[in-house]
C-alpha cells in the first residue's frame, strides 16, 4: 500500500475517533427528557407531538435489541466524565479533546519538519495525541495513591472523634478541616451531601464511586452494617486503619523485591525504540527498508506485537496483589 495512502487513512481514523468521543461526551438526554415531560404533562400540545413521541418510543424499542450488544462500550464511554472527576482535572472534557487534537496536529508538523519517513507521520500523530490521555491517567493514579496513603489517618481521626462523643457526621467534618486534599475534598463532598438530606450511607457510596479504593469500601461497608445492626464503629475503624498500615508495609517490601523486574521491563521496552531512532539518525536509508519492503512491514508488525506481549508478561510477573 502507498505510504501516503496509509497516512491519509490513519489521519481520517484519528479524526473519526475524536469526533466519536465528542459525540459521546455531549449530553443530549436533558433536552429529550424535557420534551418528553412537556408532551406527557401538557394538554395544549398538538396531537402530532404525541404521535411523534409514540413513534419514537416504538422505534427505540425496536433498536433496543441491536443496541444491547454495544451497551458495554457505550457505558464505558459515558463514564469519561467520571474519569475527569477522579483525576480532579482542571480542564473540561471539551477542552481536553481540543488539546488532544492540537497535540496530534503538532506531532504531524514536527515529524514533517524533521523529514521523517511518510509511514512514521501517523505514528507521530497517534503518539502525540495520546500524551494528554497519559497525563490524565497519571494524574488520576497519583490522586488515588495520595488518597490511599491518607485514608488510615482519616479513619483513625473519625474513630477518635466517635470516642470523644461526636457523631459520624461531625467526624467527617473534622476530616475535612484537619486533613489535606484529596481526602478532605472527597469527605467534604460526602459531608455536604448528607447535610442536604442524602443518607450518610448513600453519600459514602457516592464517594466510593469517585474513589474506587478497597480500604474505603471496608469503611463504607462497616458504616452501613453499623447503621443497620449497631456496634462499636470506632473500634472497627481503628482496626481497619491498622490493617491498611500493615498492608502498606508489605507492599513496600514487595516493591523493593520486584524493583529489578521493573527496571528490566523498562529497559527492554525502551531499548528497541532507542536503537531504531539511533539507527535512523545514522543511516536513514537502511531503516526505510522496513517501510518500503513487504517483509520489512511484516517485521515491524511482529516486533510491535511482541513488544506488547512482553510488556504484559513482565507486568504480570511484577504485579503482586497484597
Quick one: how far is CA 117 from the chain centroid? Answer: 33
- 122/7 Cα distance (integer angstroms): 6
Question: CA–CA distance from 61 to each of 34, 49, 257 (Å)?
Answer: 20, 19, 56
> How would you write the pLDDT of the chain (322 residues) with one tens digit per residue?
555 555 555 566 656 665 555 555 444 444 445 455 454 444 444 555 445 544 445 445 544 544 444 445 445 555 677 888 888 888 888 889 899 999 989 988 888 887 777 777 888 888 889 999 999 999 999 999 999 999 999 999 999 999 988 888 899 999 999 999 899 999 999 999 989 989 989 999 999 988 988 889 989 999 998 888 878 889 989 999 898 888 888 888 888 888 888 888 888 888 888 888 888 888 888 888 888 888 888 888 898 898 888 888 888 887 777 6
Give the start-to-end residue ranges of the domains of the chain.
144-254, 258-322
Is the domain 144-254 a CATH 1.20.81 member?
yes
The secondary structure of the chain in percent helix, strand, coil, rounded to multiples of 5, reads 85, 0, 15
Cis-peptide, bond into residue 182, ω within 30° of zero: yes
125-152 core/surface letters (b: 16 or more CB in 10 A; e: else): bbebbeebeeebeebbeebbeebbebbb
**Burial of residue 164 (number of CB atoms within 10 Å: 0-12, 13-18, 19+):** exposed
Query: pTM for this structure?
Result: 0.65
Amino acid at each position: 500500500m502507498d505510504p501516503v495512502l496509509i497516512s491519509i487513512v490513519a489521519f481520517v481514523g484519528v479524526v473519526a475517533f475524536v469526533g466519536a468521543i465528542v459525540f459521546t461526551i455531549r449530553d443530549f438526554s436533558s433536552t429529550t427528557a424535557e420534551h418528553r415531560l412537556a408532551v406527557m404533562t401538557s394538554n395544549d400540545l398538538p396531537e402530532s407531538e404525541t404521535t411523534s413521541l409514540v413513534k419514537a418510543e416504538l422505534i427505540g424499542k425496536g433498536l433496543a435489541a441491536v443496541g444491547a450488544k454495544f451497551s458495554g462500550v457505550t457505558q464505558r464511554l459515558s463514564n469519561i466524565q467520571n474519569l475527569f472527576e477522579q483525576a480532579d482535572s482542571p480542564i473540561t472534557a471539551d477542552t481536553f479533546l481540543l488539546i488532544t487534537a492540537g497535540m496530534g496536529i503538532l506531532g504531524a508538523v514536527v515529524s514533517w519538519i524533521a523529514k521523517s519517513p511518510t509511514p512514521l507521520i501517523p505514528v507521530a500523530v497517534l503518539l502525540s495525541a495520546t500524551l494528554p490521555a497519559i497525563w490524565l491517567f497519571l494524574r488520576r493514579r497519583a490522586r488515588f495513591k495520595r488518597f490511599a496513603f491518607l485514608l488510615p489517618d482519616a479513619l483513625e481521626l473519625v474513630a477518635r472523634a466517635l470516642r470523644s462523643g461526636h457523631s459520624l457526621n461531625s467526624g467527617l467534618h473534622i476530616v475535612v478541616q484537619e486533613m489535606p486534599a484529596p481526602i478532605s475534598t472527597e469527605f467534604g463532598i460526602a459531608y455536604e451531601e448528607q447535610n442536604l438530606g442524602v443518607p450518610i450511607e448513600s453519600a459514602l457510596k457516592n464517594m466510593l464511586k469517585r474513589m474506587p479504593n478497597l480500604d474505603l469500601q471496608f469503611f463504607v461497608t462497616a458504616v452501613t452494617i453499623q447503621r443497620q445492626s449497631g456496634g462499636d464503629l470506632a473500634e472497627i475503624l481503628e482496626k481497619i486503619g491498622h490493617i491498611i498500615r500493615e498492608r502498606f508495609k508489605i507492599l513496600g517490601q514487595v516493591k523493593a523485591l520486584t524493583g529489578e523486574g521493573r527496571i528490566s521491563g523498562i529497559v527492554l521496552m525502551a531499548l528497541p525504540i532507542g536503537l531504531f531512532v539511533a539507527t535512523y539518525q545514522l543511516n536513514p536509508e537502511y531503516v526505510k527498508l522496513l517501510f518500503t519492503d513487504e517483509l520489512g512491514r511484516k517485521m515491524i508488525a511482529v516486533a510491535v506485537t511482541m513488544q506488547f506481549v512482553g510488556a504484559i508478561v513482565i507486568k504480570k510477573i511484577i504485579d503482586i496483589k497484597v
